Amino acid sequence: MSTGSVNLEQCLKCNLCTLVCPMMEVNPDYPGPKKAGPDGERYRLKDPAFFDYALKYCLNCKRCEVACPSDVHIGDMIQSARIKYGSQAKKKGLRGLRDWTLASTDLVGTVSSPVAPLVNGVLGTRPVKAVMDAVLAVDKHRTFPKYSRQKFVSWFRKQDQSAFDRFVTYFHGCYVNYNYPDLGKDFVRLMNAAGYGVHLLNKEKCCGVALMSNGFADKARKQGTVNLDSMRKAVSAGEQVLTTSSTCTFTMRDEYPDVLGLDNSEIRDSLMLATKWLYTKLSAGEIHLNFRKDFKMKVVYHTACHMQKMGWQIYSIALLQMIPGLDLTVLDQNCCGIAGTFGFKKENYGYSQAIGSKLFADVEDSGADIVATDCETCKWQIEMSTGKTVLNPVEILAKAVEF
Amino acid sequence: MQKEYDVIIIGGGITGAATLRDCALRGLSSLLIERGDICDGASGRNHGLLHSGARYAVTDREGAEECIRENRILRRIASNCVEPTEGLFISLPEDGLDYQANFIQKCREAGIDAQAIDPAEALRMEPAINPRIIGAVKVPDAAVDPFRLVDANILDARRHGADILKFTAVTGLVKENGRVIGVRTSKGDVFRAREVVLAAGIWTAGLAREAGVNISMMPSKGSLIIFGHRVAGHVINRCRKPANADILVPGDVVSVLGTTSDKVPIETCDDMHATPQEVELLLREGEQLVPSLAHTRIIRAYAGVRPLVVADPAGDGRNVSRGIVLLDHETRDGVPGLITITGGKLTTARLMAEMATDLVCEKIGSKARCETAARHLPGSEGRKPRFIDPFNIRAAIGRHGEEVARMDFDNGGEIVCECEHVTRAEIAYAVKEFGVRNVSDLRRHTRIGMGTCQGSFCIKKVAEVLAGELGVDPEGLVHDYLQERWKGITPVLWGDTLREAEYMQKVNRNEI
């Protein structure tokens, strides 16, 4: 089903993966990518009892895979092992409830949106944070992303796209839909300005990244199947599927086939981040945007781990560099430490912050107005840990364009 | 002249070790002499297959019955060395199903529970097997770790008072008035015993000749290849007349495919290695069992010698009885004081030991009864620690069972060999319990360097740690070990194995 264990023997034991693992540096309990991946897999194939619960510390950042000179799917192997052997470790009681809640982005978003001010208010209060910390083990330092009163899709339904004759399909993701519709609105405005209408998928579900990392692989597989069916329809209608979240994109492009065993070959090449699409079209002269003359912004770009894995940071960076008046510095590639829902858990908070400390220092020292990144969870982490505002490159572009 | 033992056993393979244990448990004063390390010869160069007897059911009913009896005993007394994987005998279209019908019948006659199962069910149980199968039979085969089994016998014998002399060759048998009364060693010592038992596998013939006794032995070479991980969870056999490369065994964390069977000159037995031609043959046939073997990384190839005793030296060794051969040289050759135990299999070694010890007891007038089938071996006492322990010692628990209680993980929990998760504590244990000389010896008692990197990355560290324990020069340890590993890597030098080997060279020449 999964390809996780297929190429463990290409590992030459060179340990380059160990050198780049952000978790190993801060957590002596984590055996590291080589031991947790190919070394451990040999033993797990003999007896699942060799599964080590310390594998839960893997951030799934895939930096090990980027470093591996033998193309061993180390991160996939660890993810697959957690799914295959970690089920008995599934937490019961309140921590189980917490993991389920953190993983169920769709459901929680749907419930929260209509009562957004209430939820936002309650989640932000000290007593509630203290209770969540003590009872649910959600770290009290964390700020939950605010829920939006109006979902992105509700706004979108009122947008008339019928005037266009060329379309792209937008996978908005949970964050845009429930928490941050402004990013989606910017995306639609940009596409319209470039002469493209926007369609949504026939049916969109959460990409499943939070489900996978919290041990709900079956549910992730079900949701992935729904997403892939919808994307196949869009792609066969000649539309590309664009996104504004690097992690959703990475999950659907790579984790679907490699970890969940879902075949996405028909849509994989048509699924991409909006920044890649925009840069490619703009640089080829196929679309045109009117940039404002008075735009000024000092920006540092943070490469999210999954961007690095896809190798697509070059598109986001090049796109930002096209903006007149934008002063861009690219930061060293360091993990921010949050790794999706990982950093929200009380037991992981210390590791999260220790891993991110190098990045936070770089951000603070940069003197930038804005931090740009393609990942929403990096955004939460950097905003919480540095006090700087973090924007998606698409939002920055929208600010620089004259509509 | 040193003290007189009741019995001296020559040969530190499974037969000698099991005989030593049996003698010790019966209260005989016993000494085992081995020219190299424990498990240095054929006992460490086989499939690691705990036969159900199914393999022999068609041609050798008696052998099959012995196997199934011993199979059941070893599962109980050596539970930590045996992994109850169960086995499948698969039929491909070219094999037909005629053999299968007879095979099941013969298995049942020998008391082996052989169950025909639907090919689809077999593929569900074991997705790795050739999907072209037309039939499958489930039998109680299992995997047995030969290194651990021999070690456990040695430990039990020593803990019951037996003496062990390793790295000491027997250079001659001492005779007095036509009776064998002891042995002379390469170190110039003479040890006296009331009975001397030859249990030296293929090397038995040479020792017997010393005493003027002729045993006609036929060395039959068997080559095997080791794949880097487990491709199948069951022992996979081909359901046809025994042939080359028709058994794949999941041994510990690897897969072992074998064997070939070729008559070889006795002079070659000291330097056995698999040839590229044998590897090619094994692979070609092995792919029929499990197609993914075609692209699974091979770690190394090796060869062992079956100590077959034959009447007809013209055969190829496969049709020769692999039955147990117990020779009472007093009655057979008029040489009292000398007994030979040979033939047999890893699976039946305990029974061989019982037969040999029964004869020893008869000769020296002891009435002690055999207890080896009833008593658990060290590490298999049935109180195996549960997997709640830190990651770095789980592999050690898997290997040594309760023996891990003798390892000081508090002071030696650091992993030295990462492929096989061998810690400093396990190395110290092996040095103390087994008296190793070098890294190859250490490997046999721990699995150090037996993983996919074959020691590329840990050898220098292992050598430093071992040199510290032994007080010797680490450079020499590194050199000897790499030479020995290289022997098994050369015949399989392609693909990932080649990449690893190049890496190994660079690392060890300090180029990386």
Assess whether pLDDT exceeds 60 at residue B388.
no
Question: By mean pLDDT, which of A237-246, A286-295, B388-397, B470-479 is the weakest?
Answer: B388-397
Q: Is A43 on the interface with B (CB under 8 A)?
A: yes
The answer to whether the Cβ–Cβ distance between A46 and B418 falls below 8 Å is no
Picking from B250, B296, B394, the nearest residue to A50 by CB comes out as B394
Mean pLDDT of B419-437: 92
d(CA B9, CA B24): 12
Task: Tell me if the domain spanning B80-143+222-302 has CATH number 3.40.50.720.
Answer: no
Give the CATH number of domain A297-400.
Answer: 3.40.50.1860
Place of tokens 């492009």: A253
Picking from A8, A10, A13, the nearest residue to B457 by CB comes out as A13
Residues B489-498 have pLDDT tens digits of 999 998 888 9
The answer to whether the Cβ–Cβ distance between A12 and B456 falls below 8 Å is yes
- Which pLDDT score is estimated for B391? 67
d(CA B14, CA B348): 10
Q: Is B496 on the interface with A (CB under 8 A)?
A: yes
Domain ranges in chain A with CATH number 1.20.1050: 152-204+213-283
Give the residue, A28 or B317, on which the prediction is more confident.
A28
Beta pairing partners, B217:
B309
State both tokens at A90. Answer: 């599934």
Instruction: Return the DSSP state at B3.
Output: P
Q: Is B142 on the interface with A (CB under 8 A)?
A: no
Q: Which residue of A has its CA nearest to B512?
A: A14
Mean pLDDT of A346-351: 92
- Which pLDDT score is estimated for B134? 97
The answer to whether the Cβ–Cβ distance between B418 and A34 falls below 8 Å is yes
d(CA B21, CA B509): 44
Percent of chain A with pLDDT over 90: 72
B422-423 and B415-417: which strand pairing?
antiparallel
d(CA A312, CA A271): 13
Domain ranges in chain B with CATH number 3.30.9.10: 80-143+222-302
Residues B255-284 have pLDDT tens digits of 999 999 999 998 888 888 999 999 999 999
Residues B289-331 have pLDDT tens digits of 999 999 899 999 999 998 888 754 444 544 455 689 999 999 9
For the ranges A80-94, B65-79, B430-444, the maximum mean pLDDT occurs at B65-79
Assess whether pLDDT exceeds 80 at residue A223.
yes
What band does B445 get if pLDDT is binned at 50, 70 and 90? very high
From the list B175, B384, B215, the residue with the least C-alpha distance to B308 is B215
Enumerate residues 49 to 78 of chain A having a beta carbon within 8 A of any beta carbon in chain B.
49-50, 52, 54, 70
Question: By mean pLDDT, which of A101-105, B257-261, B456-460 is the weakest?
Answer: A101-105
Contact A374, A392 (CB under 8 A): yes
- Which pLDDT score is estimated for B484? 86
- Which pLDDT score is estimated for A187? 98
Interface test with B, best of A13, A58, A85 (most B CBs within 10 A): A13
A chain contacts of residue B250, beta-carbon cutoff 8 Å: 46
Instruction: Return the DSSP state at A178.
Output: I
Mean pLDDT of A16-42: 93
Q: Tell me if residue A99 falls in helix, strand or coil.
A: helix
* Full-model pTM: 0.88
> Å from A218 to nearest chain B CA?
21
d(CA A229, CA A264): 9
State both tokens at B185. Answer: 């060693």
Mean pLDDT of A253-259: 95
- Which pLDDT score is estimated for B432? 93
CA distance to A271, A289, A321, A403, per residue, from A286 (Å): 19, 10, 18, 18
Picking from A5, A13, A14, the nearest residue to B419 by CB comes out as A13
The CA-based angle B503-A311-A233, given to 5 degrees, is 125
Mean pLDDT of B332-346: 94
Residues B164-202 have pLDDT tens digits of 999 999 999 999 999 999 999 999 999 999 999 999 999
- Which pLDDT score is estimated for A136? 77
Task: Please give the mean pLDDT across all residues of chain B.
Answer: 92
CATH architecture group of domain B4-42+147-216+322-364: 3-Layer(bba) Sandwich (3.50)
Q: State ipTM.
A: 0.86
Give the CATH number of domain A152-204+213-283.
Answer: 1.20.1050
Domain ranges in chain A with CATH number 1.10.1060.10: 8-89
Question: By mean pLDDT, which of A37-46, A237-246, B1-10, B337-346 is the weakest?
Answer: B1-10
Assess whether pLDDT exceeds 60 at residue A4.
no
- Which pLDDT score is estimated for A123? 78
Assess whether pLDDT exceeds 70 at residue B413.
yes
What band does B36 get if pLDDT is binned at 50, 70 and 90? very high
Question: By mean pLDDT, which of A90-104, A140-154, A173-187, B473-487 is the weakest?
Answer: A90-104
Domain ranges in chain A with CATH number 3.40.50.1860: 297-400
Contact B353, B346 (CB under 8 A): no
> Å from B412 to nearest chain A CA?
16
Picking from B252, B253, B456, the nearest residue to A13 by CB comes out as B456
> Å from B456 to nearest chain A CA?
8
Contact A371, A163 (CB under 8 A): no
* Residue A3: cis peptide before it, omega within 30 degrees of 0: no
- Which pLDDT score is estimated for A71? 92
Instruction: Return the DSSP state at B384.
Output: P
- Which pLDDT score is estimated for A98? 81
- Which pLDDT score is estimated for A5? 46
Q: Is B265 on the interface with A (CB under 8 A)?
A: no
Residues B18-31 have pLDDT tens digits of 999 999 999 999 99
What band does B505 get if pLDDT is binned at 50, 70 and 90? confident
Q: Tell me if residue A328 falls in helix, strand or coil.
A: strand
> Å from A36 to nearest chain B CA?
10
Mean pLDDT of A18-39: 93
d(CA A51, CA A86): 7
Q: Which fold has domain A8-89?
A: Fumarate Reductase Iron-sulfur Protein; Chain B, domain 2 (1.10.1060)
What band does B236 get if pLDDT is binned at 50, 70 and 90? very high
Helix (H) or strand (E) holding B8: strand B4-10
Mean pLDDT of B425-439: 93
What band does B383 get if pLDDT is binned at 50, 70 and 90? low
d(CA A306, CA A370): 21
From the list A292, A227, A216, the residue with the least C-alpha distance to A262 is A227
From the list B161, B143, B31, B29, the residue with the least C-alpha distance to B87 is B143
Q: Is B225 on the interface with A (CB under 8 A)?
A: no
Domain ranges in chain B with CATH number 3.50.50.60: 4-42+147-216+322-364
Torsion angle of alpha carbons B32, B38, B44, B45, nearest 10°? -80
The answer to whether the Cβ–Cβ distance between A34 and B451 falls below 8 Å is no
From the list B352, B227, B237, the residue with the least C-alpha distance to B296 is B227
The answer to whether the Cβ–Cβ distance between A12 and B499 falls below 8 Å is yes
d(CA A139, CA B31): 65
Residues A265-295 have pLDDT tens digits of 999 999 999 999 999 999 999 999 999 999 9
Contact A215, A90 (CB under 8 A): yes
Picking from A8, A13, A50, the nearest residue to B418 by CB comes out as A13
Mean pLDDT of A175-204: 96
Q: Tell me if residue B316 falls in helix, strand or coil.
A: coil
> Å from A33 to nearest chain B CA?
12
